[in-house]
Amino acid sequence: MTQNIWFRRAVAGVGASVLAASLGVGLGAGVASADEASASGTFDTNVAGMKIDWSRSVSDDAPKVGEVVTITNTLTNSGTKTLHGLKWMEDHHPTCLVPLPESVELTVISSGKDKTYFNDGGSGPQLEAGEYTADYRNDGVTQVSRIDGLNDWQLTNGSTKSYSATWSTDYRVDCAVQPALATGGLTWNSTAGGNAGVLTSAGPTIAVLAKDSDPNPGDGGNDGGGNGSGGNLPGDSSGGTGSLGSLDLFGSLGLK
């Protein structure tokens, strides 16, 4: 089995920061953007030519207690042969991550099918009774099972198209505050062979913050109100309101 576990952070808001720096203007504290944490690799099955690329991601690498994160598991056929009959997928996680069953989404791209199933009781295609289990076998294991029959999860030859199964579920973070929470991993089973539980601790790892913590500490800048402390524009000694009204924006950029 080949396993290359990696983590990534997608940081938003760069454009705004660059603009603020170019104008010499402080930005007030805004809404912090969540950074995703993920792990991935390739699993060689017990059948020649059958390989599965797997990935598991958590939508926020530093949620606060009580917030909701989305865990997404994806399996893709990266081998040269058909993977017949993917029977089920499981997510293994700490019991302090509490699943929200109505959030479940499952997208299956297989031979002749590209369909998303839901578990919210809405008008879209729904998972049938028993096809999603919030506590399968024991707490900390959720499972989504085969849909519509043996061939529905058939991940056809990946050399011509990326046939895959992607399953996402929201979880409420009821964990203790900690710098590194191991979020668990995934497993699956098919007629081509499962992963025998070797990825149930595949990751990724996230931090859990206190409810009142600030993920981006700093002075927060000035919101434009109050006495204008720290927010005066060049040449303005009035102590002002932090207004941008006196800034010759276009002239300073040479656009007049």
DSSP character at residue 227: T
Tokens of 148: 């519509």
| Per-range mean pLDDT, top range of 13-17, 41-45, 69-73, 244-248 | 69-73
**39-70 pLDDT tens trace:** 999 887 767 677 788 999 999 999 999 999 99
Instruction: Burial-class residue 46 by CB neighbours within 10 Å (0-12, 13-18, 19+).
Output: exposed
**Reduced to 3 states, what is the DSSP secondary structure of residue 83?**
strand
Phi, psi of 11 (to 5 degrees): -90, 125
Tokens of 239: 């102590």
Q: Select the more confidently predicted residue: 139 or 247.
A: 139
Does the pLDDT of residue 37 top 90, yes or no? yes
Q: Domains of the chain: which residue ranges?
A: 14-208, 222-256
Q: What is the value of pTM for the model shown?
A: 0.70
Looking at CATH, the fold of the domain delimited by 14-208 is given as Immunoglobulin-like (2.60.40)
Tokens of 35: 């950074």
* 77 close to 157: Cβ distance less than 8 angstroms: yes
Does the pLDDT of residue 6 top 80, yes or no? no
Q: Select the more confidently predicted residue: 240 or 101.
A: 101
Which of 175, 178, 114, 104 has its CA nearest to residue 145?
104
Sign of CA dihedral 70, 71, 77, 79: positive
DSSP character at residue 225: -
**Reduced to 3 states, what is the DSSP secondary structure of residue 196?**
coil
**164-223 pLDDT tens trace:** 889 999 999 999 999 999 999 999 887 665 555 689 999 999 999 999 876 565 544 444
C-alpha angle 41-145-55 in degrees, rounded to nearest 5: 15
Instruction: Burial-class residue 184 by CB neighbours within 10 Å (0-12, 13-18, 19+).
Output: buried
When pLDDT is averaged across residues 156-169 and rounded to a whole number, the result is: 73
What does the pLDDT read at residue 193?
58
Does the pLDDT of residue 74 top 90, yes or no? yes
